[in-house]
Amino acid sequence: MAHVELSLSGAFVPQARTPDESEFVSNIDRWAATVWQAVEPCLVIDVSATVVAVSPSASDLLGLGKGADVVGRPLLGGEGALRLIDFTAGGGDLAEPEIEKIPPLLALTSEQLTRGLMRIQPPADDRHVTVDAIATPILENGRVVASLTFFSAIRY
């Protein structure tokens, strides 16, 4: 019969450590830094639907101009970065109940991954662009603080 012997040399006591600087950076700031350098069209908005960060390719796709000019502005509305239009031939303004369902906003309120089509008319432009948008909430201490949205142009 085999014999197994166990010996303990002392109790394990975890050592105190100094927190890394990265532990003091919020999730929204981490994602914003990533989005600024992303190749993919994406953006981050906070819970008040204010643009926090936008990738260069998202700025181009959505007709936003320089990304830095959009930061701090509302995503939608009077001074908003985007004008949402409906899918009718005339492309009228999207109704308020439908605006609440666009992925970047719905991810904030539902606290879930969301996906949908958006038709956008860039500022000072007659053209429109249709995008497939996938958004996820960004959490901090169990609360939604922002949403991260990726866009893909629908070509037709």
- Domain span at residue 62? 26-153
User: Does residue 21 form part of some domain?
Assistant: no
- Whether residue 114 lies inside any domain: the answer is yes
Q: Which of 137, 130, 127 is nearest to 151 (CA)?
A: 130
DSSP letter at 156 equals -
Cα atoms found within 13 Å of the Cα of residue 155, Cβ hemisphere only: 1
pLDDT along the chain (156 residues), means of 10: 60 61 78 95 96 94 84 82 87 89 96 96 81 96 96 90
Residue 123 located in a structural domain: yes
Whole-angstrom distance, CA of residue 113 vs CA of residue 134: 7
CATH number of the domain enclosing 93: 3.30.450.20
How many Å is the Cα radius of gyration of the chain? 22
The rounded distance, in Å, linking the Cα atoms of 127 and 103 is 22
Residue 87 lies in a domain: yes
Number of domains in the chain: 1
- Asked whether 67 and 36 are in contact (CB, 8 A), the reply is yes
The pTM assigned to this predicted structure is 0.81
Q: What DSSP state is assigned to residue 38?
A: -
Is 121 inside a domain boundary?
yes
**Phi (first) and psi of residue 37, to 5 degrees:** -105, 0
In a domain, 14, yes or no: no
Residue 8 belongs to some domain of the structure:
no
Q: Is residue 54 part of a domain?
A: yes
Q: Are 119 and 141 in contact (CB under 8 A)?
A: no
Contact 114, 148 (CB under 8 A): no
